[in-house]
Amino acid sequence: MSNRTTVTEFLLLGFSDVQELQILHFVVFLVLYLAALVRNLPMITAVAFDHHLHTPMYFFLMNLSILDIGSISVPVTKSLSNSLMNTRSISYSRCVAHVFFFIFFTSTGFALFTIMAYGRYVAICQPLHYERVMNSRACIQMAASAWMSIFVYSALHTGNTFAISFYGGNTVDQFFCEIPQLLKLACSDSYLSEVGASAFSVCLGLSLFIFIVVLYVQIFTRVLKIPSEQGRHKALSTCLPHLIVVSLYFFTLAFADLKPTSSSTSVLDLLPTVLYSVMPPMMNPIIYSMRNKAIKAALKKLIGGWLFTKNKMSIFCL
């Protein structure tokens, strides 16, 4: 217990000790972070203010954009701060917050992926039941259930992680607090329960992915039976973006987790983590919304209304 309480801060792995490379890292991460914000905020704004987009698909896309902003903010903002201030430290409490919010945002995203896949299954395979199953009240209830259940899961998982005793020092071989790296600092007696919890999380995520794949097998089987080529194209155009996003998220995360660990950590070991923590939040809005005519029309309408109001107020003031 005394060894655990003496840990008041952790030291994160930096991308480089050279100041010029630290500045380069800061600029690159800042550009990636701003790109994620610029691509996700328009989706949230358009869906929130345009009543034409108050449909199940856009409602869940708005939720997903909120999660994307949260999931990229957790690792990137602290990394930017450390690079700018030339430090590697992170307080114990902030490390706890990192673990909790990263689990929360990424796990809730996977829960929403599953709900969205089920919505597409109902829309294509059981269209007569779509209005009843995916009405606005049901969508809000499903989203709220996902957020609340994952909140409890994240709290339990985080509490279980930091209940261990850290006998292996306080240097985390990652640019943010990540559970596998924290487990390396734990004594062998106290971290077994957390290994079991992590294994359960992996099995749960894999089960959800398999469930999504099964749903899409049935969806594509039904789509291939549609006689009209235009109908098949329309159905596929609504399903493929979601499947691409799920695959990007799952395989980047699996690639980082299944990568063989090395005794000496290098900058190259950080790249898989950057891949799964930074790339999906950037790519999701591109895949989903930037080519969506409804989103573009809503944004043009909002921007046009804002400019009109601004010009009208300027004339009034004159």
Of 167-176, 189-198, 248-257, 293-302, the poorest mean pLDDT is in 189-198
Local confidence band at 100 (pLDDT 50, 70, 90 cut-offs): very high
CA dist 35 and 275 (Å) reads 15
How many other CB atoms sit within 10 Å of the CB of residue 126?
Answer: 12
Pick the CATH number of 9-309 from 3.40.1160.10, 1.10.287.70, 1.20.1070.10, 1.10.10.60: 1.20.1070.10
Give the global pTM: 0.83
How many other CB atoms sit within 10 Å of the CB of residue 243?
Answer: 20
CA dist 105 and 137 (Å) reads 23
CA dist 204 and 183 (Å) reads 20
CA-nearest of 42, 122, 50, 33 to 84 is 33
Residue 91 dihedral angles phi and psi, to the nearest 5°: -65, 160
Local confidence band at 105 (pLDDT 50, 70, 90 cut-offs): very high
pLDDT at 289: 59
The three state secondary structure string of 234-277 is HHHHHHHHHHHHHHHHHHHHHHHHHCCCCCCCCHHHHHHHHHHH
Matching residue, tokens 């990652």: 174
Enumerate the domain spans of the chain: 9-309
Local confidence band at 108 (pLDDT 50, 70, 90 cut-offs): very high
